[in-house]
Amino acid sequence: MSKVKKIFLHEKDMPTQWYNITADMPNKPLPPLHPGTKQPIGPEMLAPLFPMELIKQEVTSERWIDIPEEVQDLYKLWRPTPLHRAYNLEKALDTPAKIYYKNESVSPAGSHKPNTAIPQAYYNYKEGVKHITTETGAGQWGSALSFACQHFGIDLKVFMVKVSYFQKPYRKMMMNTWGAEVIPSPSNLTEAGRKILAEHPDSPGSLGIAISEAVEMAAKDENTKYSLGSVLNHVLLHQTIIGLESIKQMEIAENYPDIVIGCFGGGSNFAGISFPFLRHNFVDGKKTRVIAAEPASCPKLTRGQFQYDFGDTAGYTPLIPMYTLGHNFVPDNIHAGGLRYHGAGAIVSQLLKDKLMEAQSVKQLETFEAGVLFANTEGIIPAPESTHAIAVAIREALKAKKEGTAKTILFNLSGHGFIDMAAYDQYFAGKLQDHEVTDLEIKESLAQLEKVM
Amino acid sequence: MSKVKKIFLHEKDMPTQWYNITADMPNKPLPPLHPGTKQPIGPEMLAPLFPMELIKQEVTSERWIDIPEEVQDLYKLWRPTPLHRAYNLEKALDTPAKIYYKNESVSPAGSHKPNTAIPQAYYNYKEGVKHITTETGAGQWGSALSFACQHFGIDLKVFMVKVSYFQKPYRKMMMNTWGAEVIPSPSNLTEAGRKILAEHPDSPGSLGIAISEAVEMAAKDENTKYSLGSVLNHVLLHQTIIGLESIKQMEIAENYPDIVIGCFGGGSNFAGISFPFLRHNFVDGKKTRVIAAEPASCPKLTRGQFQYDFGDTAGYTPLIPMYTLGHNFVPDNIHAGGLRYHGAGAIVSQLLKDKLMEAQSVKQLETFEAGVLFANTEGIIPAPESTHAIAVAIREALKAKKEGTAKTILFNLSGHGFIDMAAYDQYFAGKLQDHEVTDLEIKESLAQLEKVM
């Protein structure tokens, strides 16, 4: 009965540097290209959108990046986050596997997103930026950045994917509470939005479209910068604090994971939990399997194509080397709004291409089944995004049971589901269905892409 | 910059006994009376509603009660909870006061309520109970008991105050997720409910009415027990784990509170944080001020009368010696649904009568102002109930500033507000108003009560 369930880390043991995986990758990610010239872009092309310090972090090959003291100080409002051993879940599954989860749900916004929102707002503040635009899917990123911008006195406009804007009204209210303005996307405020609305007046929106709107607004105003909650290298960098803390906590637990799992939208929480463990694969000969859990309705890692594509729908961003379904792909309206993104970012795409990580797709009903089992055993109602990681953890725990191996599994609980209860309500009412995208849909979306390139 | 913000307690240091304050009170609380005979009731009168172990705890004068290992084990899903130093809030207030808060928002249901839900479900389970009824105001208690009953395989029916049922739909969904049935109260399922509906078809409900319904349903079925989330001695007992942990954490912080604050509905979170500190007032000569923060629209402690009254609206319960506004008092529809209760419970009432604690009332707009400041500084969006404690902590911190004294203030953050965002939305939209109950309303409600007694 006296088994320790939660491993806390004292604030003085919180990591003071982020880990940059590009320093250790056997093959470096390909460079982003200018869409017109198809030549690698220089930092100066990103300057209208980002402060210089973040651009430096985007392209650096330094292995360790110092976390500014002011950022550390704000992190400590909730960090280090606890690492839990899921004894009750293990018992329910009757598995010999040891299941651990890192609990990022205890942050102000209820997810891992403040880990990068705070440094991004901080570097903008240091360079005198007063206005920022961004996009948000399920609203986790938007609310995290609202909290961060409010702290540093920066005005924030958030383009929120329309389907989530209506599915998750409480997220909008949180952003308002932290002083941000929230606009359902596609909107009439931008050319990109107006174009989509003209063609598809009922468009549910997508992250790709919302990014186009936020980028357009920032690019057109020299006093406004743009901030992205995933995909880019500097965003993934900031999230590595999750895995760096986890390594220390697994040491305290006198254990080390055979398998590390994160759900996958743009890649930030997945990178956060897994990159520090991949480092040990690269430099210490560890053999941890690292698995990205993506929705079956948006399967860029398991069924997409590796090639250059835009990060947004309108084609405003540089071309990024990525596993993609095509930047015009509009995923089904699943409740895991944070995972509805067409592409994967340069680093993760290279890692997957080089078979240094794995990916699994999960259908919506399986994710909710996993989420309810987790809520009933471990007590925390998980965000629909996080249920993808739980579902894959359960798959692997049941596989371990079949094989009779006491595998150690670690997954990232990226966020709680308190604000996603309507999704659970629909699940219990039998109103949710599995939607798997067809081969034809993917083929058509990618064909459209080839025409553009 | 290296000031420690959060004090964690290791699981092995979690208290293993609850503290029973009646052992140390200078004047013991008066006994509950039978409404017919006006004689003290014996434990046997409570047997139809509660399992024997809880009845024993209700009347015991033992100082320390062992926490069963199975309960400790479930507590450890989230306990010990962190104690935070609110540096950012102190800075915003520019106060010399040191402000600490105990963070009970990290539990499965998002509040302190599971602290008693789990032992109550456990003792019922141990005595073979298969069905339980209860009531809930804002839904914190109902969701906590849903989680606990689900764990022990007990079927649960929750009568939820109607105004909260519609204000807080996500709470109902949480209860459903943990397998409970939720009924808006007043309902047609009970005589008490039907009587209210006949007189007031649009009744918003109240905790008093919902208790009547739940008690009636349990009393009429010998296979069903009843469970209460506050007011009773055994409930307050279970919550003392909050204060007992806090004492250990304040020791680690090398500090001790001059002032301890909890919001006040039925008294359980207030008792939880404060009774262990009151013990040190009683036995060690400490002089900590202990303050209950109640809503101005339901001011039983500051403007009620000390006398015997029913715990519920229909008059099904024993007569309890309490500060009360009268059991027919229906408070205004404030968003702090958990504080809309007419009376105060025997122990707290005796303490207040003996001037061993204080009470302050707070108007709704002041509470939301305090809640927004807390969200903007400390990052956690508090439950509307908890904002009452924050508001009083802010008052005391500003008083300390005026006096130039570095007072140490500790309050209980009883829960988060993720599920109460609609209340914040209305606040920002300017739709909330202060409602202070008039002297005449209180006088009339108490006059009605005198007729009954």
What is the pTM assigned to this prediction? 0.96
Interface test with B, best of A71, A88, A165, A174 (most B CBs within 10 A): A174
Name the residue among A8, A169, A378 with its Cβ closest to that of B77.
Answer: A378
Tell me what the mean pLDDT of segment B30-43 comes to.
92
Tell me what the mean pLDDT of segment B380-401 comes to.
98
Contact between A15 and A245 (Cβ < 8 Å): yes
pLDDT, tens digit (0-9, with 9 covering 90-100), for A22-33:
999 999 999 999
Q: Do A173 and B424 touch (CB under 8 A)?
A: yes
Q: Do B174 and A150 touch (CB under 8 A)?
A: no
Closest CA to A150 of A127, A168, A171, A124: A124
Q: How far separated are the first and last CA of chain A, in Å rounded?
A: 61
B308 backbone dihedrals φ, ψ, rounded to 5°: -70, 135
Report the range of poorest mean pLDDT among A184-193, A428-437, B18-27, B100-109: A428-437
| Mean pLDDT (chain B, rounded) | 95
pLDDT, tens digit (0-9, with 9 covering 90-100), for B227-262:
999 999 999 999 999 999 999 999 999 999 999 999
| Strand boundaries in B199-304, DSSP class E | 224-226, 259-263, 289-295
Q: Do B265 and B299 fall within a single domain? A: yes
Q: Do B156 and B212 fall within a single domain? A: yes
Amino acid type, B250: M
Tell me what the mean pLDDT of segment B431-453 comes to.
87
Residue of chain A minimizing CA distance to B368: A177
Strands of the A155-161 sheet, one edge to the other:
A181-185, A155-161, A131-136, A224-226
Measured between CA atoms, how close is A199 to chain B, in angstroms? 33
Name the residue among B6, B416, B425 with its Cβ closest to that of A76.
Answer: B6
Q: According to the model, what pLDDT value does residue B453 have?
A: 66
Residue of chain B minimizing CA distance to A72: B1
Name the residue among B72, B78, B179 with its Cβ closest to that of A379.
Answer: B78
Count how many domains chain A has.
2
Q: Do A319 and A402 fall within a single domain? A: yes
Contact between A113 and A141 (Cβ < 8 Å): yes
Question: Which chain B residues are Cβ-neighbours of A5 within 8 angstroms?
Answer: 11, 76-77
Share of chain A above pLDDT 90, in %: 90
Task: Give the residue carrying structure tokens 């204060």.
Answer: B243
Tell me what the mean pLDDT of segment B83-94 comes to.
98
pLDDT, tens digit (0-9, with 9 covering 90-100), for B350-382:
999 999 999 999 999 999 999 999 999 999 999
Residue B34 in domain: no
Beta carbons within 8 Å of B23's beta carbon, 6+ residues apart:
B61, B62, B63
Contact between A146 and A174 (Cβ < 8 Å): yes
Tell me what the mean pLDDT of segment A403-418 comes to.
97
> Peptide bond preceding B276: is omega within 30 degrees of 0, i.e. cis?
no
Confidence of residue B1 (pLDDT cuts 50, 70, 90): very low
Residue A30 in domain: no
Contact between B300 and B266 (Cβ < 8 Å): no
Q: Which element (helix H / strand E) includes A193?
A: helix A191-199
Which segment, A112-121, A335-344, B28-37, is predicted with the most confidence on average? A112-121
Contact between A299 and A267 (Cβ < 8 Å): no
CATH code of residue A364: 3.40.50.1100
Residue B304 in domain: yes
Q: Do B188 and B149 fall within a single domain? A: yes
A227 reaches B (C-beta below 8 A): no
Q: Do B421 and B304 fall within a single domain? A: yes
**Portion 83-102 of B in contact with A at CB < 8 A:** 84, 88
Beta carbons within 8 Å of B322's beta carbon, 6+ residues apart:
B300, B306, B307, B308, B309, B343, B344, B345, B346, B349
Closest CA to A417 of A393, A376, A385, A389: A385
Pairing of strands B83-85, B98-103: antiparallel
Alpha-carbon Rg for chain A, nearest whole angstrom, is 20
Q: Do B69 and A151 touch (CB under 8 A)?
A: no
pLDDT, tens digit (0-9, with 9 covering 90-100), for B158-188:
999 998 898 889 999 999 999 999 999 999 9
Residue B374 in domain: yes
Of A233, A264, A296, at which residue does a domain stop?
A233
Share of chain A above pLDDT 70, in %: 99
B356 reaches A (C-beta below 8 A): no
Closest CA to A109 of A134, A136, A139: A139
Cα torsion for B204, B299, B313, B447, to the nearest 10°? -120
Residue B415 in domain: yes
Alpha-carbon Rg for chain B, nearest whole angstrom, is 20
Q: Do B375 and A177 touch (CB under 8 A)?
A: yes
A107 reaches B (C-beta below 8 A): yes
Which DSSP letter does residue B2 get?
A: -
Of B233, B267, B291, at which residue does a domain stop?
B233
Whether the per-residue pLDDT at A7 is higher than 80: the answer is: yes
Q: According to the model, what pLDDT value does residue A453 have?
A: 66
Interface test with B, best of A13, A73, A85, A173 (most B CBs within 10 A): A173
Interface test with B, best of A75, A170, A172, A420 (most B CBs within 10 A): A170
pLDDT, tens digit (0-9, with 9 covering 90-100), for B296-314:
999 999 999 999 999 998 8
Closest CA to B158 of B183, B179, B178, B141: B183
Task: Give the residue carrying structure tokens 């009587």.
Answer: B195
B13 reaches A (C-beta below 8 A): no
Q: Do A272 and A165 fall within a single domain? A: no
Look up the ipTM and state it. 0.94
pLDDT, tens digit (0-9, with 9 covering 90-100), for B182-233:
999 999 999 999 999 999 999 989 888 999 999 999 999 999 999 999 999 9
* CA distance linking residue B427 with residue B196, whole number of Å: 30
Q: How far separated are the first and last CA of chain B, in Å rounded?
A: 61
B164 backbone dihedrals φ, ψ, rounded to 5°: -75, -35
Q: Which element (helix H / strand E) includes A407?
A: none
Question: Which chain A residues are Cβ-neighbours of B376 within 8 angstroms?
Answer: 150-151, 178-179
Q: According to the model, what pLDDT value does residue A2 have?
A: 58
Q: Do B265 and B318 fall within a single domain? A: yes
Q: Do A326 and A287 fall within a single domain? A: yes
* CA distance linking residue A341 with residue A160, whole number of Å: 13
Question: Which chain A residues are Cβ-neighbours of B379 within 8 angstroms?
Answer: 77-78, 107-108, 114, 147
Q: According to the model, what pLDDT value does residue B208 have?
A: 86
- The residue segments making up the domain with residue A172 are 49-66+113-233
Confidence of residue A206 (pLDDT cuts 50, 70, 90): confident
Q: According to the model, what pLDDT value does residue A331 have?
A: 85
Confidence of residue B2 (pLDDT cuts 50, 70, 90): low
Residue of chain B minimizing CA distance to A71: B1
A77 reaches B (C-beta below 8 A): yes
Beta carbons within 8 Å of A21's beta carbon, 6+ residues apart:
A236, A240, A271, A275, A278, A279, A347
Whether the per-residue pLDDT at A381 is higher than 70: the answer is: yes
Residue B31 in domain: no
From residue B272, give the alpha-carbon distance in Å to each of B22, B115, B351.
Answer: 14, 9, 14
DSSP A239-270: HTHHHHHHHHHHHHTT---SEEEEE-SSSHHH
* CA distance linking residue A6 with residue A21, whole number of Å: 28
Closest CA to A82 of A99, A105, A98: A105
Q: Do B370 and B423 fall within a single domain? A: yes
Q: Do A424 and B151 touch (CB under 8 A)?
A: no
Interface test with B, best of A16, A70, A106, A177 (most B CBs within 10 A): A177
Q: Do A99 and A246 fall within a single domain? A: yes
To 10 degrees, what angle do helices B346-353 and B268-284 make? Answer: 50
Using the CB atoms, write b or e for A126-138: b if 16+ within 10 Å: eeebebbbbbbbb
* Between B293 and B333, residue with greater pLDDT: B293
Q: Which element (helix H / strand E) includes B442?
A: helix B439-452
Amino acid type, B436: E
Q: Do A418 and B418 touch (CB under 8 A)?
A: yes
B310 backbone dihedrals φ, ψ, rounded to 5°: -75, 150
Q: According to the model, what pLDDT value does residue B4 have?
A: 93
Whether the per-residue pLDDT at B58 is higher than 70: the answer is: yes
**Portion 362-391 of B in contact with A at CB < 8 A:** 372, 375-376, 378-381
Name the residue among B1, B5, B379 with its Cβ closest to that of A147.
Answer: B379
Residue A41 in domain: no
* Between A172 and A207, residue with greater pLDDT: A172
Q: Do A208 and A271 fall within a single domain? A: no
Residue B39 in domain: no
**Portion 145-174 of A in contact with B at CB < 8 A:** 147, 150-151, 169-170, 173-174
A431 reaches B (C-beta below 8 A): no
Beta carbons within 8 Å of A182's beta carbon, 6+ residues apart:
A142, A158, A160, A165, A172, A175, A176
Of A198, A233, A268, at which residue does a domain stop?
A233
Q: Do A146 and A198 fall within a single domain? A: yes
Residue of chain A minimizing CA distance to B153: A376
Tell me what the mean pLDDT of segment A366-384 comes to.
97
Q: According to the model, what pLDDT value does residue A1 have?
A: 44
